[in-house]
């Protein structure tokens, strides 16, 4: 099914792709780097696993659709109903190496069913969310490493 673009953010993270992927790949570990998340619980493993993300007291269920370590890509589907004017919403995060010490991140939000008014309603929400999320990744990656013992 064709999907309609809602919002896409492209940014550079000043860390090697392996470091960024190590954090991003954990489907249930988003609370560690996403500053707006209150909690995250995961049911199942691998493709098809469903996480319940709570932010501001509002739970959202997301199902893992793509996990590709070779392409450094994770994609999830927001399970309907979302309370947003769309159906079949997706988030896809892809990484690309930009030299030894930098990583390009591309975060795309799209949906199977959404009209122009829905895009105008959702785009500002997703823009803020995605920018804060990438900021959270940068912040975690900028912290100095600490000895475990």
- pLDDT tens-digit profile of 79-97? 999 889 999 999 999 999 9
Rounded Cα distance, 17 and 95, in Å = 7
pLDDT at residue 17 above 80?
A: yes
Spatial neighbors of 130 by CB under 8 A, at least 6 apart, are 7, 9, 107, 109
- Tell whether 63 is covered by a domain: yes
Residue-wise pLDDT tens digits, 93-112? 999 999 889 999 999 999 99
pLDDT at residue 132 above 80?
A: yes
Largest CA distance in the chain: 54
- Tell whether 136 is covered by a domain: yes
- Tell whether 149 is covered by a domain: no
- Tell whether 148 is covered by a domain: no
User: Who has greater pLDDT, 68 or 144?
Assistant: 68
- Tell whether 147 is covered by a domain: no
- Tell whether 29 is covered by a domain: yes
**Could you list the residue range(s) of the whole structural domain that residue 118 is in?**
4-142
What CATH number is associated with residue 96? 3.30.530.20
- Tell whether 58 is covered by a domain: yes
pLDDT at position 147: 64
- Tell whether 97 is covered by a domain: yes
pLDDT at position 25: 93
> What is the number of structural domains in the chain?
1
Mean pLDDT, rounded, for 5-24:
96
The residue assigned the tokens 């392996």 is 18
pLDDT at residue 68 above 80?
A: yes
Nearest to 6 by CA among 81, 113, 104: 113
């Amino acid at each position: 099914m064709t999907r309609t673009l809602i919002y896409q953010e492209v940014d550079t993270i000043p860390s090697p792709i392996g470091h960024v992927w190590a954090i991003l790949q954990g489907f249930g570990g988003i609370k560690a780097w996403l500053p707006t998340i209150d909690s995250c619980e995961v049911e199942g493993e691998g493709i098809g696993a469903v996480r319940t993300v709570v932010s501001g007291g509002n739970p959202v269920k997301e199902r893992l659709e793509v996990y590709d370590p070779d392409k450094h890509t994770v994609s999830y589907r927001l399970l309907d109903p979302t309370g947003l004017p769309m159906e079949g919403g997706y988030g896809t995060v892809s990484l690309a190496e930009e030299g030894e010490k930098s990583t390009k991140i591309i975060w795309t939000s799209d949906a199977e069913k959404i009209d122009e008014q829905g895009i105008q309603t959702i785009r500002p929400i997703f823009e803020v969310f995605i920018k804060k999320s990438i900021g959270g990744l940068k912040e975690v990656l900028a912290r100095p490493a600490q000895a475990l013992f």
